[in-house]
Chains A and B, each alone.
Chain A
Amino acid sequence: MALPLPPGLTPSEVAFLCEMELVTVIPRQRLEGLELLGGPTPALQPPHRTTLPLWLALLLKRQRRANISPPPWLLPTSLTAILEFETEHSKDAFSPPPPLPPTSSTTAPVSPPFLPSSTASAPADALPYHWLEMGNLLLEVAPDDFEEPDQVRRLLRDLREVRMAKVRKGVEVLDAGGGVKMNGVGGMEVAEGRAFIGGVIDGLRRIGASREQARKESEAEERENGYAGNASDDDDDMDL
Chain B
Amino acid sequence: MASYYDVDAILTDSHKLPCKFMLTVPGLGYIDGNVGEDMKQGTQVELPLWLGEVMAVSAVGTQLIELDLPDALSTRIMNALQADAKTVDIRALAPHFYTLAARILELFDEKGMVEILDEVLKVPKRAAEIADQAHNPRGALGEGAEFLRGLDETERQLFRVAHDSAKAVRTWMTELKKA
Contact = CB atoms under 8 A, between A and B. Distances in A.
Chain A, interface size category, equals: 35 or more
Nearest to B158: A199
Contacts of A15: 172, 176
Q: Is the interface of B mostly helix, strand, loop or mixed?
A: helix
A156 to B, nearest CB: 10
A211 B112 contact: yes
Interface residues of B, number: 40
B173 A10 contact: no
B165 A211 contact: no
A204 B162 contact: no
Given A208-B120, A211-B113, A188 B106 contact: no
Interface string A163-191: 01000110111111000000000001001
Given A195-B161, A200-B124, A200-B127, A210 B169 contact: no
B154 to A, nearest CB: 6
Interface stretch (B32-40, B57-65, B128-136): B128-136
B119 interface: yes
Contact of B98 (A176, A206, A213): A206
Contact of B116 (A192, A196, A211): A211
Interface string B84-118: 00000000000000110110011001001100100
A171 B123 CA distance: 10
A204 to B, nearest CB: 6
Nearest to A205: B102
B125 to A, nearest CB: 7
A210 B131 CA distance: 27
A206 B124 CA distance: 14
Given A15-B172, A172-B124, A203-B123, A1 B116 contact: no
A88 to B, nearest CB: 23
Nearest to A62: B179
B177 A140 contact: yes
B141 interface: no
Contacts of B5: 1
A191 B169 contact: yes
Instruction: Report the 9 A-B pairs with minimum CB-CB distance, sorted nearest first.
Output: A11-B172, A195-B161, A196-B162, A210-B105, A206-B102, A168-B131, A172-B128, A200-B127, A199-B158
24 contacts: A6-B161, A168-B132, A168-B135, A172-B125, A174-B127, A175-B120, A175-B124, A192-B165, A192-B169, A195-B165, A196-B127, A196-B162, A199-B161, A203-B154, A204-B120, A206-B98, A207-B101, A207-B102, A207-B105, A207-B120, A209-B105, A210-B102, A210-B109, A214-B112
